[in-house]
Copies of this chain bind each other. A is one copy, B any other.
Amino acid sequence: MLFHQLFEKESSTYTYLIADPATREAALIDPVLETADRDLKLLQELGLQLRYVLDTHIHADHITGAAVLKKATGAKSAVSAAAGVSLADLPLHDNQEISLGNLKIRVIATPGHTDTCVCYLVEGRLFSGDTLLIRGCGRTDFQQGSNEKMFHSVRTKLFALPEDTLVYPAHDYSGHTSSTIGQEKRWNKNLAESIPFEQFAEIMKNKKLDPPKKIQVAVPANLAGGHVGAS
């Protein structure tokens, strides 16, 4: 599998490019509007055809590059069916399999950060969105966030994967770029296996986070598939 990790500095977002080296078909996971041109250039340089734009959820901190990338390449956009996004071509369901050339991408529904969260599993790599972060997890205090759902999604679904599964989150704020399921079972500050639900809920309650700066712009735009100014 061809694999590239890319970073958008303002929102500390990781975008991932995956592709089948044989058929040259590619997907971008969580592309950002501001870096869509960089991503298009890389696709062109590598001789890849973009088939899918896969968002892990309706982001509140940045606008997806989906609309721009679709227009430029004819790719299809995909997001959880729970989002009800009118402009997504592929509404995703738990356990669905997406074919990308010879690659199989498995969709794992992981509500908790939002109701629309999914992770993507491809060849031993988990693209974990804002569900499982490196040594942390996404916040649960807006957009249908739920501690109960987050705990269930990570502990029951993601921690059931092999320990050497590589974890690639949508964000990191301390300069880490990847982890493994085994590391997170041991060292995750919120959701390590040694932490019971009540303690997790207490940790999340005490976070006192500011709302994301772009939430008023990003959520409506992302619900419209990345079209800015949509209402």
- Shortest 10 CB-CB distances between A and B: which pairs? A7-B175, A5-B177, A6-B175, A45-B187, A8-B175, A38-B174, A35-B175, A6-B176, A177-B177, A9-B175
> Which residues 28-69 of A have a CB within 8 angstroms of B?
35, 38, 42, 45-46
Q: Which residue of B lies closest to A3 (CB)?
A: B178
Q: Which one of B6, B9, B38 contacts A177 once the chains associate, using CB atoms below 8 Å? A: B6
For A143, what are the chain B residues with a Cβ–Cβ distance below 8 Å?
A: none
Residues facing B in A71-90 (CB within 8 A) are none
A214 at the binding interface (Cβ < 8 Å): no
Chain B residues closer than 8 Å to A15, beta-carbon distance: 175
Chain B residue numbers with a CB within 8 Å of A9 are 9, 175
Given A7-B7, A15-B175, 19 more A-B residue pairs with CB atoms under 8 Å apart are A4-B176, A4-B177, A4-B178, A5-B177, A5-B178, A6-B175, A7-B175, A7-B176, A7-B177, A8-B175, A9-B9, A9-B175, A38-B174, A38-B175, A42-B176, A45-B183, A45-B186, A46-B183, A177-B177
- Binding site secondary structure of chain A: mixed
Q: List 9 A-B pairs, Cβ < 8 Å.
A: A4-B178, A7-B175, A7-B176, A7-B177, A8-B175, A9-B9, A35-B175, A45-B186, A177-B177
Interface membership of chain A positions 155-186, coded 1 if the CB is closer than 8 angstroms to chain B and 0 otherwise: 00000000000000000001111100001001
Query: How many Å from the CB of A26 to the closest CB on chain B?
Result: 15
- Complexed CA–CA distance, A174 and B39 (Å): 11
* Residues of chain B within 8 A of A186, CB atoms compared: 45
A129 CB to nearest chain B CB (Å): 18
